[in-house]
Amino acid sequence: MLSDFISLFFPRYCVGCHGALVRKESIICINCQYEIPKTNSHLESPNFVENKFFGKVNLTKAMAYYKFERKGRLQRVLHQLKYSNRPEVGNLIGEWYGRELEDLELPNLYDVIVPVPLHKTKLRRRGYNQSAQFAEGLSKSLNIPIDLSLLKRTKKTATQTKKTRVERWQNVEEIFKVSKKKKLTDLRVILVDDVITTGSTIESCAIALLGAGAASVGVIAIAAAK
């Protein structure tokens, strides 16, 4: 009753289509949940996400919930998550995906969830790390602990895009670093990102984690480009 009354004056809108949310819907409407295309990459191996890393870095698994498209509902959802101060969008999608991944028994395969970190300047400006929000949702429904301080981004990536793959690889330690205080030996890590396009960020993080002694690295993302 009270929530109906409140939404009469403060209508709540879906982050995917901007349509008014009806009762029991929250953040993303039922229609958008249905319409945003999923990859089902967790059901096949090798899949198109894993293929991006083939011959570059050894990952145990890689999967993404949604197919990344530059237009449409998902793009609007991701835009709200990244630029419109809607961190809860990430938590919600993480919880949903975690539930879909239940049959994979990931808690038997992994010890910790680690989001791709933001540079501290960017984190301060945005107020939150969208990948960490998604990771928290995953952590909640998968029941695997999250570690937000294990991996650090020590340099902005702006200039990185102009470099070749070999140059990027040589620069890995300048970009992602494993915290010296952490013991990583024998730890099986799920690395979490928002969108995977070329895969170079994940590649750099995974190399840093494996180089610091992680036993294995798997990857989960909100979306990946085909």
Window 14-43: residues binding Zn ion (CB under 5 A) = 14, 16-17, 29, 32
CB of 1 to Zn ion, least distance (A): 24
Task: Give the three-state DSSP class for 221.
Answer: strand
Which range of residues in 12-20, 94-102, 131-139, 196-204 is near Zn ion by CB under 5 A? 12-20
Comparison of 12 and 119: residue with beta carbon closer to Zn ion: 12
**Which span sits near Zn ion by CB under 5 A: 7-15, 42-50, 59-67, 99-107?**
7-15
Instruction: Quote the tokens at residue 46.
Output: 């090798």
Q: Radius of gyration of the chain from Cα atoms? A: 18
Count of residues near Zn ion by CB under 5 A: 5
Nearest to 112 by CA among 146, 141, 149, 140: 146
Closer to Zn ion by CB, 27 or 178: give it.
27
Q: How far is CA 61 from the centre of its chain?
A: 14
Query: Beta strand pairing status for 176-178 and 151-153?
Result: antiparallel
Nearer to Zn ion, 17 or 215 (CB): 17
Residue number, 29 or 219, with CB nearest to Zn ion? 29
Which distant-in-sequence residues (6+ apart) come within 8 Å of 187 by Cβ?
A: 111, 112, 213, 214, 215
Distance of closest approach, residue 15 Cβ to Zn ion, in angstroms: 7
Site string for Zn ion, 67-106 (x = CB under 5 A): ----------------------------------------
Q: How far is the CB of 66 from Zn ion (least distance, A)?
A: 14
Collapsing DSSP to helix, strand or coil, 36 comes out as: coil
Would you say 17 or 109 has its CB closer to Zn ion? 17
φ/ψ of 81, rounded to 5, equals: -65, -40
C-beta closer to Zn ion: residue 7 or 160: 7
If you ran DSSP here, which 8-state letter would residue 194 be given? E
Shortest distance (Å) from residue 29 CB to Zn ion: 3
Percent helix, strand and coil across the chain, each rounded to 5?
45, 20, 40
Q: Which residues contact 130 (CB under 8 A, 6 or more apart)?
A: 81, 82, 87, 90, 194
Q: Please report how close the Cβ of residue 92 comes to Zn ion at its closest, in angstroms.
A: 13
Q: Given the rule CB under 5 A, which residues bind Zn ion?
A: 14, 16-17, 29, 32
